[in-house]
């Protein structure tokens, strides 16, 4: 062990050979009193309605606390974790927008790496928020499920979203006399009607790949309603991706990817899809609730509705929405501006501010007493009690598992390469099995 440490320190010495003298410039941890001028460095990810809300919120915050300047930077969602990690390690940020704590390693998982948030907490980069008064504004379950690790709270989560629904064009449904589908068969025949009329049935942002599989979540959900159990079953071998039950899912996914999706969907970027739907050219749009704001801003007069994806033939199975806890706030442990950071979160958690926030971004609230008073809020309200956290939030791939070890509809052509459901099912199971076997 000593030798290893020696070699390792040798490498560090090598890298920083020329710079060792400069390492004394680290920032001190002293918390400054709020009365002094403070620049609060806030990092958020790109989501236009949220950014617009935050700009207003920051302005109000600066007016209330004139000694504080908020320096908010915005990064693309894809870069958020990279930038978060680099800025936290560089001690260059105070308050960060971080996605909910998910994908924790479970006892039945062998040899998996901890998720980023866990590493960050263990390395001491996130501030322990346990006992802060503003936590009481939120549902206990939300704090526990999305922001707690080892009994300590590190994040307040700001809302849930659902990704398993279908937007539908009310005008087109009325014009062609199509009923809003509640079973899989009805969905298929609705699509046939539209296609026969020359109207593409569905769209989604196929260029990014994931919007296709996220759109089909309801399909997975109608077959495996308890997705945490699904993940455990996959790891322990009691569920296979090519068993009879799963085959039903793949067969339907094939129809979804190849018959229901419009031609050319594979070229539409994720953020372009709501505009495409709002233009009125397609009958339905498979996507998460977060797209509602974009649809409304693209075409305010456009009439639409939202239903859970009817993946099962039994309408009772189609009343579930699958989703996730979305973003939350954390404070950097090494920040010199912790006090201001706490003040910022306290202000944000005020019911009035929080309600304005969820209504701006379209999250389902994690604060009791706050309602989402938008169209999507009303559309989803009947299903909210059946809200369930999805597979992706539980699954951790075993090391060595292949790149196809997921139930994604986007593996089907034209988004992927597969045409045959059985061939794909076998490949997915094989890729997963290969990882499970490698860790025996």
Partner 1 sequence: MNVDMKIRRPIKWGKILSYAVLIIFAIVYAGPLIMLVNTSLKSLPDFMKSATSLVTSPNFDNFIDAWQKANFPRYLTNTVLYTVTATLVYVVTAIFLAFPVSRGYIKGAKIILFLFIVALFLPPALIPQFQLMLRLGLYNNPIGYILLFTINPIGFTILVNYIKTIPIELDEAAALDGCSYFKFVTMILFPLIRPAVATVAVLHAIGIWNELILPTIYLTSQKYYPITRGMIVFQGVYGSNWPTLAAAVLIMTFPMLLIFLLMQRYIISGLTTGAVKG
Partner 2 sequence: MRGYHFGGGKSRWAPYLFLLPGLLLYVMIALGPSISTTFFSFTNATGIRGAPVDWVGLDNYKEFLFMGQASRDNLSALGRTLLFCFFVTTIQFSLGLLVAVLVNQKLKGTNFFRTLYFMPVILGAVIQGLIWSLFLYPLGGPMDSILNFFGMSSEFFGGPPTEAFGWVIVVQIWANLGTTMIIFLAGLQTIPSELYEAAEIDGANKWKVFKNVTWPLLTPSVNTNLLLNIIGSLQAWQLFLVLIGYRNGTQVLGYLIYAVGFGQTSGSVTSSFRQGYAAAASIVLFILVLILGTTTQFFLSRRERRILG
Residues 84-103 that bind partner 2 (CB under 8 A): 85, 88-89, 99, 102-103
Q: How far, in Å, CA of 311 to CA of 318, rounded?
A: 7
Task: Count CB atoms within 10 A of the CB of residue 365.
Answer: 22
Q: Which of 27, 39, 59, 82 binds partner 2 (CB under 8 A)?
A: 82
Q: Does 55 bind partner 1 (CB under 8 A)?
A: no
Work out how close the CB of 221 gets to partner 1 at its nearest, in angstroms, rounded to a whole number: 28
**Cis ω for the linkage preceding 414 (within 30 of 0):** yes
> Which of 57, 167, 357, 411 is in the footprint of partner 2 by CB under 8 A?
411
Q: Is 50 exposed, middle or buried (0-12, 13-18, 19+ CB in 10 A)?
A: buried
Residue 99 near which of partner 1, partner 2, none (CB within 5-8 Å, type-dependent): partner 2
Q: Does 285 bind partner 1 (CB under 8 A)?
A: no
**Displacement of CA 321 from its chain's centroid (Å):** 14
Structural element, H or E, at residue 64? helix 48-64
Residue 22 binds which of partner 2, partner 1, none (CB < 5-8 A, kind-dependent) = partner 1
Using CB under 8 A, pick the residue from 274, 328, 390, 435 that binds partner 1: 274
The site partner of 141 among partner 1, partner 2, none (C-beta below 5 to 8 Å per kind) is none
Q: Which is nearer to partner 1, 18 or 196 (CB)?
A: 18
Q: By C-beta, is 172 or 428 nearer to partner 1?
A: 172
Residue 430 makes contact with partner 2 by CB under 8 A: yes
* Angle, helices 351-361/338-349, rounded to nearest 10 degrees: 80
* Residue 402 binding partner 2, by CB under 8 A: yes
279 lies in the binding site for partner 1 (CB under 8 A) = yes
Letters for 10-49 (x = contact with partner 1 by CB under 8 A, - = none) are -----xx--x--xx-xx----------------x--x-x-
In the complex, the smallest distance separating the C-beta of residue 6 from partner 2, rounded to whole angstroms, is 10
Q: State how far the alpha carbon of 215 is from the alpha carbons of 8, 165, 294, 408, 410, in Å.
A: 46, 7, 16, 10, 10
The residues in 250-289 that bind partner 2, with binding defined as CB under 8 A, are: 264-268
| Comparison of 201 and 273: residue with beta carbon closer to partner 1 | 273
Instruction: Taking each helix axis as running N to C, give the angle between helix 48-64 and helix 351-361, from 0 to 180 degrees, rounded to the nearest 10.
Output: 160
297 interacts with partner 1 by CB under 8 A: no
Contact 265, 409 (CB under 8 A): no
Residues in a beta bridge with 328? 98, 157
Return the range that interacts with partner 1 (CB under 8 A); candidates 84-92, 96-104, 112-120, 132-140: 84-92
Interatomic CA distance for residues 75 and 81, integer angstroms: 10
Q: How far is the CB of 239 from partner 1 (least distance, A)?
A: 37
Please tell me the distance from the alpha carbon of residue 270 to that of residue 291, in angstroms, as a whole number: 10
Instruction: Pick between residue 48 and residue 209 the one whose CB is nearest to partner 1.
Output: 48
Q: Which is nearer to partner 1, 14 or 196 (CB)?
A: 14
Distance of closest approach, residue 398 Cβ to partner 1, in angstroms = 25
Shorter beta-carbon distance to partner 2: residue 26 or 36: 26
The Cα 341–Cα 335 span in angstroms is: 9
Within 125-144, which residues bind partner 2 (CB under 8 A)? 125
Q: Is 306 exposed, middle or buried (CB count within 10 Å of its CB: 0-12, 13-18, 19+)?
A: buried
Contacting residue, 9, 59, 67, 76, with partner 1 by CB under 8 A = 76
CB atoms within 10 A of CB 29: 11
Closest contact distance (angstroms) between CB of 336 and partner 2 is 17
| Chosen from partner 1, partner 2, none, partner binding at 365 (C-beta under 5 to 8 Å by type) | none
Concatenate the DSSP letters of all residues of 4-36 into one string: HHHHHHHHHHHHTGGGGGGGGGPPP-PPPPTTS
The residue within the footprint of partner 1, chosen from 252, 276, 324, 427 (CB under 8 A), is: 276
Least Cβ distance, residue 258 to partner 2 (angstroms): 13
Mark out the alpha helices in 150-224 (DSSP H runs): 170-175, 184-196, 210-215, 217-223
* Residue 73 interface partner, choices partner 1, partner 2, none, CB cut-off 5-8 Å depending on type: partner 1
Rg, Å, the chain Cα set: 24
């Amino acid at each position: 062990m000593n030798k290893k440490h020696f070699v390792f320190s040798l490498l560090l010495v090598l890298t920083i050979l020329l710079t060792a003298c400069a390492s004394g410039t680290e920032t001190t941890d002293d918390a400054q009193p709020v009365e002094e001028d403070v620049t609060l460095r806030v990092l958020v990810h790109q989501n236009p309605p949220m950014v617009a809300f935050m700009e207003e919120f920051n302005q109000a915050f600066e007016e209330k606390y004139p000694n504080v300047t908020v320096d908010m930077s915005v990064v693309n969602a894809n870069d958020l974790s990279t930038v978060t990690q680099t800025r936290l390690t560089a001690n260059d940020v105070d308050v960060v927008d971080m996605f909910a704590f998910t994908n924790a390693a479970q006892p039945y998982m062998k040899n998996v790496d901890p998720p980023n948030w866990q590493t960050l907490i263990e390395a001491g980069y996130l501030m322990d928020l346990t006992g802060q008064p503003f936590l009481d504004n939120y549902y206990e379950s939300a704090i526990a499920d999305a922001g707690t690790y080892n009994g300590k709270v590190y994040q307040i989560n700001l809302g849930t979203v659902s990704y398993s629904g279908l937007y539908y064009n009310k005008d087109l449904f009325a014009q062609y006399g199509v009923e809003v589908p509640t079973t899989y068969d009805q969905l298929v025949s609705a699509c046939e009607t539209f296609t026969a009329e020359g109207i593409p049935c569905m769209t989604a942002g196929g260029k990014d790949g994931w919007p296709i599989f996220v759109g089909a979540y309801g399909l997975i959900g109608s077959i495996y309603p308890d997705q945490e159990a699904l993940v455990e079953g996959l790891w322990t071998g009691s569920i296979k991706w090519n068993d009879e039950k799963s085959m039903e899912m793949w067969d339907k996914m094939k129809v979804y990817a190849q018959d229901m999706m419009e031609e050319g969907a594979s070229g539409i970027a994720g953020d372009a899809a709501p505009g495409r739907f709002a233009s009125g050219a397609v009958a339905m749009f498979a996507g998460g609730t977060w797209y509602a704001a974009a649809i409304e801003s693209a075409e305010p007069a456009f009439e639409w509705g939202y239903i859970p994806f009817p993946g099962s033939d039994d309408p009772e199975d189609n009343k579930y929405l699958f989703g996730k806890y979305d973003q939350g706030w954390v404070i950097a442990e090494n920040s010199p501006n912790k006090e201001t950071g706490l003040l910022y979160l306290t202000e944000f958690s005020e019911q009035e501010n929080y309600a304005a926030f969820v209504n701006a971004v379209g999250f389902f609230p994690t604060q009791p007493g706050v309602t989402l008073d938008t169209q999507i809020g009303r559309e989803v309200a009947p299903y909210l009690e059946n809200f369930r956290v999805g597979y992706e939030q539980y699954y951790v791939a075993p090391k060595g598992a292949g790149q196809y070890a997921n139930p994604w509809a986007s593996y089907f052509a034209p988004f992927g390469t597969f045409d045959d459901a059985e061939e794909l099912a076998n490949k997915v199971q094989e890729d997963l099995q290969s990882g499970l076997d490698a860790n025996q």
